[in-house]
Amino acid sequence: MKPVRKAIIPAAGLGTRFLPATKALAKEMLPIVDTPTIEYIVREAIASGIEDIVVVDGKSKRSIEDHFDSNPELENNLREKNKLELLELVEETTDINMYFIRQSHPKGLGDAILTAKDFIGDEPFVVLLGDDLMQDEVPLTKQLIDRYHETGESTLAVMEVPHEQVSEYGVIDPAAKVKDGLYRVKSFVEKPKPEEAPSDLAIIGRYLLTPEIFEELEKTKPGKGGEIQLTDAIDTLNNRQHVYAHKFTGDRYDIGSKIGFLETNITFGLKHPQVKDELRAYIKELAAKL
């Protein structure tokens, strides 16, 4: 079994939900407290043992490339001022093997993954979507890699969501529970209407895929929203190799919507050593006025 060493992070979306902030700035650079959202994703991959990360980006994404590059001027400045903790923080993100591919004409998530085909080659790999931050004792990407060592097949993360929200997700039709938290899957449906959804188990943004997915993606026609859907390619892959679903039970923060983004900032702020006490006091004061 080949080791799982590579990750794809798709980041070619226009971020229209966060306009005007995203007119010139990549959505992935918006911070949760003090850290760009994409850095949380990259850290999850690294903590899971991933060695090489490719970001599939689009226009206005230069800031992502700069963030993971060295910045000698800033680093010298921090060194001179003896701000060594900050220096360490800045340097941590420059020692990662990050690669960038430009998706010039974004045609959907499936197309973004296909763009990274040559980078991945003939190896299993993971996909991490930037709109979901996950927290658990073991990083979710590592959980998927551990499952892959059991199953030897593609495995994606799912979570139970309220029934009326299923139309925002890819949804699985579970065939059989293999063991606690692991399902064989009958089919995968992208954003079904609630009345047509086969279950409330939604695909959340972490996938472990075998390289055969690229053959399926090459054949996949535009689906929901006229886009090449990764979910559709996974559904056809499931006809030739079993695809498994791993149920995530940790905390998931949906930062793809304004409200989710604000809630996550507050939640992470309440845990941040530098601001948690002041923020808690401020929220109490504010609540008393409401």
Q: How far is the CB of 225 from ligand G1P (least distance, A)?
A: 8
DSSP the chain: -----EEEEEE----GGGTTTTTTS-GGG-EETTEEHHHHHHHHHHHTT--EEEEEE-TT-HHHHHHTS--HHHHHHHHHTT-HHHHHHHHHTTSSEEEEEE-SS---HHHHHHHTHHHH-SS-EEEE-TTEEEE-SS-HHHHHHHHHHHHSS-EEEEEE--GGGGGGSEEEEEEEEEETTEEEEEEEEES--GGG-S-SEEEEEEEEE-TTHHHHHHHPPP-GGGS--HHHHHHHHTTTS--EEEE--SEEEE-SSHHHHHHHHHHHHTT-TTTHHHHHHHHHHHHHH-
Q: How far is the CB of 250 from ligand G1P (least distance, A)?
A: 15
Q: How far is the CB of 108 from ligand G1P (least distance, A)?
A: 8
What residues between 100 and 119 interact with ligand G1P by CB under 6 A? 109
Selected binder of ligand G1P within 29, 64, 156, 203 (CB under 6 A):
203
* Binding region for ligand G1P (CB under 6 A) out of 18-26, 116-124, 192-200, 223-231: 223-231
Selected binder of ligand G1P within 15, 139, 170, 223 (CB under 6 A):
170
Using the minimum distance from each CB to ligand G1P, give the nearer residue, 185 or 202.
Answer: 202
Binding-residue total with ligand G1P (CB under 6 A): 14
Selected binder of ligand G1P within 28, 132, 153, 200 (CB under 6 A):
132
Selected binder of ligand G1P within 190, 200, 216, 232 (CB under 6 A):
190
Q: How far apart are CA 270 and CA 287, in angstroms?
A: 15
Selected binder of ligand G1P within 169, 207, 253, 268 (CB under 6 A):
169
Cα torsion 204, 255, 23, 99 to 10°: value is -50
Selected binder of ligand G1P within 189, 202, 237, 245 (CB under 6 A):
202
What residues between 24 and 83 interact with ligand G1P by CB under 6 A? none
Q: Residue 228 corresponds to which amino acid?
A: I
Q: How far is the CB of 105 from ligand G1P (least distance, A)?
A: 17
Residue nearest to ligand G1P (CB): 170
Please list, in sequence order, all residues whose beta carbon lies within 8 angstroms of the beta carbon of residue 75, skipping any fewer than 6 positions away.
Answer: 87, 90, 91
Q: How far is the CB of 131 from ligand G1P (least distance, A)?
A: 5
Q: How far is the CB of 41 from ligand G1P (least distance, A)?
A: 12
Using the minimum distance from each CB to ligand G1P, give the nearer residue, 109 or 145.
Answer: 109
159 binds ligand G1P (CB under 6 A): no
Contact residues: ligand G1P, CB under 6 A = 109, 129, 131-132, 169-170, 190, 202-205, 229-231
